[in-house]
Amino acid sequence: MEFIIITGLSGAGKSVAMKNMEDIGYYCVDNIPPMLVSTFYELCEKSSDEHMKKIAVVTDIRAGDVFDDLFASLDKLKAANKKYKILFLDARDDVLLRRFKETRRKHPLSENSASTEGAVLLERELLMPVKARADYVIDTSLLSTTQLKERITALFLGNVTLGLTVTCMSFGFKYGLPAEADLVFDVRCLPNPFYIPDLKPHTGLDACVYDYVMQFEQSQGYAERMLGLVDFSLPLYRSEGKSQLVIAVGCTGGKHRSVTLTRVLYQHLLDDGQRTIVHHRDINKT
């Protein structure tokens, strides 16, 4: 049985994530009290219904300040050698505040704080221990609904019990570092197609840009060293029991050099038989 616990900050996209999980065949339960997580797990495990073999539950601060109960449930499952994964949805404070303003929804902790900003900060503090135990962390600050769906689908459409999943992500430094990145490679030192008029409108997904970037000795040398470090690091992360590794490759705008080197990394991992997904965060930004 696959059992996914979805949690995270209010406004970070848990409802969207749950709908996406339903779309890929998970039986989903929203707003389950933390104290009932282990009980629900046991009920699902006993069920003979095939629909109960892939489960996703959402538990969050709406249940009140009772996350100690969640840890008790998780410890109970761990003691019984029951397998589960935690997906944590995060976002920057300014993005969360904007989303609450746009939707005119009240923050679940608004009664505990004089302002929405205070409520967001309080919730982030309360959820820090949960985030520390998460197997997957997705920062939705710069993701569209479609991009979040793609990330969820790529992570969970296969068998999540197969071990380490590597996410290869390209990004632009001008839009900010990916908060969920475990390893970051800065390729702004490589030749930039942005300054070639015929290449500027294209991206690293196009052969003309890819070939331009990779024709240079410094690009090939960078790629060789990047792949060597990744190959050395993956067994170490596996030995630590890590479920997801996010490797981010950044250039200035996230359209040319970072996309090209991310493609090189992604193909290398595929050829090596690694379970991997690719995500170009800023490729469509102007």
Residue matched to tokens 């040319």: 256
- Which residues, 6+ apart, have CB-to-CB distance to 160 below 8 Å? 2, 4, 85, 243
Question: Residues in the chain, how many?
Answer: 286
pLDDT for 62: 74
Average pLDDT, the chain: 91
Going by C-alpha positions, the residue among 268, 192, 188, 196 that lies closest to residue 226 is 268
- Which residues, 6+ apart, have CB-to-CB distance to 212 below 8 Å? 191, 193, 196, 199
pLDDT for 161: 58
Answer whether 12's CB lies under 8 Å from 60's CB: no
Answer whether 20's CB lies under 8 Å from 152's CB: yes
Give the model confidence (pLDDT) of 78-126 as tens digits: 899 999 999 999 999 999 999 999 988 889 888 877 799 999 999 999 8
Written as six digits, the tokens of 276 are 């991997």
What is the pLDDT confidence band of residue 44, given thresholds at 50, 70 and 90?
Answer: very high
Which CATH architecture fits 2-162?
3-Layer(aba) Sandwich (3.40)
Give the model confidence (pLDDT) of 223-271 as tens digits: 999 999 999 999 999 888 788 899 999 999 999 999 999 999 999 999 9
Give the model confidence (pLDDT) of 183-236 as tens digits: 999 999 999 999 999 999 999 999 999 999 999 999 999 999 999 999 999 999
Give the model confidence (pLDDT) of 58-80 as tens digits: 998 876 656 678 888 888 898 99
> DSSP character for 111?
G
3-state class (DSSP) for residue 115: coil
Share of the chain above pLDDT 70, in %: 97
Q: What is the mean pLDDT of residues 277-283?
A: 95
Instruction: Evaluate if residue 162 carries a pLDDT over 60.
Output: no
- Domain positions in the chain: 2-162, 165-280
Instruction: Evaluate if residue 47 carries a pLDDT over 70.
Output: yes
Going by C-alpha positions, the residue among 29, 12, 37, 31 that lies closest to residue 124 is 12
Q: How far apart are CA 132 and CA 127, in angstroms?
A: 9
pLDDT for 261: 98
Angle of CA points 203, 206, 208, to nearest 5° = 100
Write down the pTM of the prediction: 0.75
pLDDT for 65: 54
DSSP 44-101: HHH---GGGSEEEEE--GGG-S-HHHHHHHHHHHHHTT---EEEEEE--HHHHHHHHH
